[in-house]
Each structure stands twice: as C-alpha cells, then as structure tokens.
Amino acid sequence: MTKISFLGLGVMGYPMAGHLAKAGHAVTVFNRTASKAEAWVKEHGGASAATPAEAAKDAEMVMACVGNDDDLRSVCLGPNGAFATMSPGSMFVDHTTVSAAVTSDLYGAAKANGIAFVDAPVSGGQAGAENGALSIMCGGDQSDYDRAEPVMNVYAKLCRRIGDSGAGQMTKMCNQIAIAGLVQGLSEALHFADKAGLDGAAVVEVISQGAAGSWQMSNRFETMLDDNFDHGFAVDWMRKDLGICLSTANENGASLPVTALVDQFYKDVQKMGGGRWDTSALFKRLQVH
C-alpha cells in the first residue's frame, strides 16, 4: 500500500483516483470544487484536503491530472502547492497534458527539493480512465519511473518510459497531432459518403477492416452519424493541446501543416458553440459548411 495524494478530479482524474483506492492504496484527494472531492470520498473512502499542500503532506506519491500549464503550476508551487509539504524522497507524477516548458521548470523545482518528478500524460479518454485501460507515456529518470510504474499500472493498458524529463509530454503531442488528422479524415469520408448517397454505417463496416481502420473510426462513427457530440474529449481541450503542439513545432522546426489547418477547423467548431463537444464534431462542421 502506498500513501498517495491525487490532485484534480475531472472526467479523467476521478476514475483514476478511484482505481488507486480500489487497489488498496491510501488516497487523499484535492479538487478546486470541494463538493467533487467530497463526492469522491463518499464513493471510495480515503480523505479530502482543502489545498494541494495539505493533501500532499506525508504522501509518498502525489499525482495530478488538472487542466493546463497554469493549473499545474498552481497545484505544485507556492505556499499552498504540493511541493511546499512534500518530503525529500517522495514523488510527483503529472498526468496533465502540458507544455514541455512547464514540465522542465517543475522537474527542476522538484529536484531542488529532493522530490522525484515524472511527466506521464495519458491517452484513452474518459472510457479508458473508467476502464483502467489508459496508454501512459512517460518522461523522467529511469529509477523514478521504475518506482512509479507499478502504481500507474492500476489504470494503464500500456505504460512506458520514452526518455528523459519532457519526453512524455512530447509523445503526447505526437498523439494529438495524429488524432487531429485522423478525425478530419474520418469526418471527410463520412461527409463524402453522405453526399454520394451511401449508407455511412455500411461504408465504415467495410473500410474499417482494411487500411483505413482506426480507434476513431471504430469508436466514433456511430455517434457522428447520429449527430451526437455531447461526450468524449472536448474541442476546447483539443485546441489547448494543439496550441502546445504548434508552439513547440515553432521551436524545434517541425512542419505541421495539417495540424495547423485542423486547429483552425476546431476554431470554427468553437464559433458554432461546440467548445464542449467531442473532437469528432469536425464532421458537424462539414455538414454546416
């Protein structure tokens, strides 16, 4: 049993923390909306805390899954941040999708305090979190990763260290770049099928078994054809992630023409009022335009 603090109980963090509790770990949770933390404790036991610093006190491992760079800094730094009370030899595992720059800053701050730091963004969406089947891509020192992996495996389908600190976040950028192109391609295929008078479901049944098959196709085509986008990974969050990708590409010289284009298509979806729609709403944009 490990004494764990989990910071952030959104659609991903809530079930992830739940898996840790079910595995027998002693879990203390923090969430900006205290009622969410209270609901989690009522369902899973453990305890809740008023601040990240309070949650992290005496914890062997602190895990976070929050919204963005600023959110992560706020739960780590300052008098109410987790780093203020974490003991030397403890570990911070960050499941948030953030920039490599903030990861570098926090890795350095953690090391200065004798705290291990592993960047470990996840992929698999809400369903993956709920089913304990996430793909976790990690960066950090090998010895730190080796300590964290058995705990993360509680909610992982695959957990792998890619390289030194920041490598996990860079890998998550690759993930989002690939998804952006896949969802746009799927949307255009379904749109074309509709304009050609074809049965979209029948088309997918055939092409999904060939080279065109993908997770997006298998898990999103039905809701796309049903005009149902009130689920899944929100467009607002995808634009945040793609912004990180494009900013990093400007720094390292990578060429991302399709990603830049799809990011603008997602901007159109936001203008349609679809900021909280699933990323598959690119299909709805084609229907309207």
Residues noted as catalytic: 172
251 close to 205: Cβ distance less than 8 angstroms: no
Distance (Å, whole) CA 208 – CA 214: 7
C-alpha dist (Å) from residue 48 to 40, 51, 54: 8, 9, 9
- The amino acid occupying position 213 is G
DSSP codes of every residue in 106-137: HHHHHHHTT-EEEE--EESHHHHHHHT-EEEE
Helices (H), the chain: 13-22, 34-44, 52-56, 69-76, 100-112, 125-131, 142-152, 167-195, 200-207, 215-225, 235-252, 257-271, 282-288
Residue with tokens 């995808």: 238
